[in-house]
Chains A and B, each alone.
Chain A
Amino acid sequence: MSSRIQNRQRRDFIRGSLTMIPAITLGSGVTLTAQAAEQAPALSDYSPLFFNDDEWAFILAACDRLIPSQGNGPGALEAHVPVFIDRQLDGDYGHATDWYMEGPFVAGSPDLGFQYPYTPREVYQRGIALTQRWCQQTHGASFDALDAQTRDQVLSDLEKGNIDFAAMDEEWLPAADFFSGLLQNTHEGYFADPIYGGNRHMGPWKMVGFPGARGSFRDWVDQHDVEYPLGPVSLSGERG
């Protein structure tokens, strides 16, 4: 794509933004040189880097219930949270690159933190497979084929530990840990900067009124109890 076209898209985007908000001021010396983000492809066009087809179907179906589309603001799917999770698992986070993963692994109080040999990638792989097995056994269908209400019940049972992974021969991973990781990553993908794949077009930031990476509020800090009027800016220079 030529830079001319990109620039035109960026201009159009900014023009669109300016109809919504009175002005965009950034601190002196601050320039946004990055291009506005490309129009993100539809979620259905995304090819996962980490998840296989079955896992991807699970993630889409789970994220859809964790932050649903109904009501104001984007759901996790509109915000591309599954893309975020997939990319995170493909990177250092997924591989637990920074964590202490040396044995021996000894079970202890949950208050001492996780004590099993699984990276987040392995937690997702095992957690999804076990949940799918449980859904097949209990409902005769995979998680993603269940209706919304049943999916909510399954997620709630994971959260509360009512689904017993140990009874399904999983040695280490409690269902609640799998769920809390998924939920945490969903929240992260919803609100992390769009460069990580989620928070598409900063929809979640706009929904709550977080101005993103503007990074300068010297003129605003003393405006007490007044709603901030400007939309967000992302790390790549996209404005909303």
Chain B
Amino acid sequence: MAIQKAPVDAVIVGLGWSGSIMGMELTDAGLNVLALERGADRTHEDFAYPKPADELAYGYRHKMMQKPKQSAVTIRRGLDERALPQRKLGAFLPGDGVGGAGAHWTGVLIRPTPTDLALKSFADENFEPGVLQEDMQIQDFGVSWDELEPHFTFFEKVCGQSGTTGNLNGEIQEGGDPFEGPRSEPYPLPALQDTQNTVMFDKAARQLGYHPFPNPSANVSRAWTNPYGMQLGPCNYCGFCSKYGCLNYSKASPQTCILDALKRRSNFEYRTHANVTRVELAPDGKTATGVTYVDGDGNEVFQPADIVVLASYSLNNVRLMLNSKIGKPYDPISRTGVVGRNYAYQVGGGISMYFDDIEFNPFATAGATGRMFNDFSPGNFDSAKHGFIGGAKMHSSQATGTPISMPLPKNTPKWGVGYKEALQKHYGHHMKLSMTGSVMSYRTNMLDLDPTWKDPYGMPLLRMTFDWKENEQKLSMFMRDRLREIADILKPDYRDESFQLEGSHFKVTSYVSTHNVGGAVMGTDPSTSAVNRYLQSWDVHNVFVPSGSAFPQNFQANPTDLIGALTYWCAKKIREDYLKNPGPLMSA
């Protein structure tokens, strides 16, 4: 018999960025809000100097990440392969605990482009039939740039976004990204300082006619007080950022930007070690009555609520919907159903360059330190000619100089005297040219429930079916050739490269990206989207899913800015319309 708690107006599953934003917005609207977080609490004590400066604990033992023991994912590369559990973390690193991935992220806070939000329309206008893969299932987001722009602007103020403005109300600004969508306001703060690699990259990229600009950063360049009164201190370039909590109150996170303000509100409460196993539905299946969770003592608890917000990591939101029977599960054979459809990812690749006589001091860096250019995002070049759709963020970033993860040339011995000599020769003499590429959605890249393996609560694990497709392999080859041209200008003493080219398959054993998106995508057609354009479940109207799971395919930029903006967009609709008249916000 489950313990029954007193009802709340809204329950939020997961206290990362989306959950914190929703907490703020819904308490603002006067609701009693409860957030349930399955991991531990994390406060400034956890991030006090020098605790985060520990590569083993955070970089290798994944102290801030989800534990596969609690929720593994099973993975296969195609419908015919047997999926197997990812028993330890590898290709992606979802966050765990209060703050979620927002506590350990790198802090690259960049918007998608207006084209990225309407990619299907772009494809229909610019690609002849037959150019794109037949099994591609790309869609528009169903929300426009103009609708989201105020929410990007606000979220970027919450984060103290640092960078150089490229397009202010349609006016192109020197030094910024001329391809960015028009911003209504400049970046809140100036860009981070340059490092040796950014200067070299910038020069070579300009020589080739590209338009480099500083990586948009949520590691703040100056002291900043955000709209909630939360204060961030200027980044001190400590070199422990991606995978680490910030030791200096400089990286935007739910902790540094929202939670201390939110926790002061009497109509907000949060519980940790509260692992939500399912959303409970009314007998007619049209509304949720609350959620069931298992508390830290192993008790099953029912939490009644009028509104349920799934603000967990994208993969877990999809799993909760499947385990709760919210929406029709996707079937890749009949191409019907929506939950689990259009799982997408991001494709990386790069050229490692070694310069014997240049000191890069890679430890003196912010997580987001780098330069990028957007000349190869959709609409800015003719990719149809090369047989693919999508684009890539081309960049030289320098996230850290921690030594266990030190890059070495591929031909270096892995052990022995030669290894030791290589450590001394190459440490601090490396810079990287990278592409971060979009990944389209396809019939067989999807999520469903695993038929075999279960979590400690007896719930089926999520099964991921994903592989690299021809479109992304062609994109990777095109971008590789562009990066090679930059490397040719910079003339390293030694270089090697890694790209997902023809014949490559997804490997779960080494890190790829934690930009897992899709699976509960947003849209305007209930036959191809799990949530409507306001992130509301088509089927269960008091369930909202503001998350990366809403992306119908992935673009080349980092996802957090859009996730933040979509959450504010969703919250606005709840506040302005849903609370007055609870029901479907769009007709099916």
Contact = CB atoms under 8 A, between A and B. Distances in A.
Interface of A: 27, 30, 32, 65-68, 70-73, 75, 92-93, 96-102, 104, 106, 108-115, 152, 155, 159, 183, 186-188, 191-193, 196, 204-205, 207-218, 220-228, 233, 235
Determine which residue in A27, A204, A208 has the highest number of CB atoms from chain B within 10 A of its CB, and name it.
A208
Interface stretch (B298-306, B308-316, B418-426, B533-541): B418-426
B12 interface: no
A111 B505 contact: yes
B88 to A, nearest CB: 5
B508 interface: yes
B53 A66 contact: no
Contacts of A100: 68-69, 72, 85-88, 453
B415 A183 contact: yes
B199 to A, nearest CB: 6
A208 B363 contact: no
Contacts of A211: 363
Nearest to B240: A215
Contacts of B147: none
A108 B82 contact: yes
B323 interface: no
A66 B87 contact: no
Interface stretch (B188-196, B204-212, B327-335): B188-196
B428 interface: yes
Give the 9 A-B CB pairs with smallest separation, nearest first.
A217-B364, A213-B53, A100-B72, A192-B56, A208-B427, A100-B68, A191-B403, A98-B67, A215-B238
Determine which residue in A106, A217, A218 has the highest number of CB atoms from chain B within 10 A of its CB, and name it.
A217
5 contacts: A68-B420, A99-B88, A100-B453, A101-B87, A224-B196
Contact of B247 (A96, A98, A215): A215
Determine which residue in B240, B416, B505, B509 has the highest number of CB atoms from chain A within 10 A of its CB, and name it.
B416
B271 interface: no
Contacts of B506: 111
A224 B50 contact: no
Contacts of B75: 112
B62 to A, nearest CB: 7
B420 A188 contact: no
Interface string B504-544: 01111100000000000000000000000000000000000
Nearest to A211: B363
Contacts of B421: 71
B196 A225 contact: yes
A202 to B, nearest CB: 11
A183 B406 CA distance: 15
Contact of A224 (B195, B237, B419, B505): B195
Determine which residue in A75, A152, A225 has the highest number of CB atoms from chain B within 10 A of its CB, and name it.
A225
Contacts of B76: 112
Nearest to A226: B359
B50 A65 contact: no
B86 A111 contact: no
A188 B61 CA distance: 11
Given A218-B235, A228-B359, 20 more contacts: A65-B416, A67-B419, A73-B420, A98-B62, A100-B87, A102-B453, A102-B454, A112-B84, A114-B88, A159-B414, A187-B404, A188-B56, A191-B404, A196-B56, A207-B423, A210-B402, A215-B50, A216-B236, A218-B236, A225-B360
Contact of A217 (B49, B360, B363, B416): B363
Nearest to B67: A98
A208 B68 contact: no
A199 B522 CA distance: 50
A65 B415 contact: yes
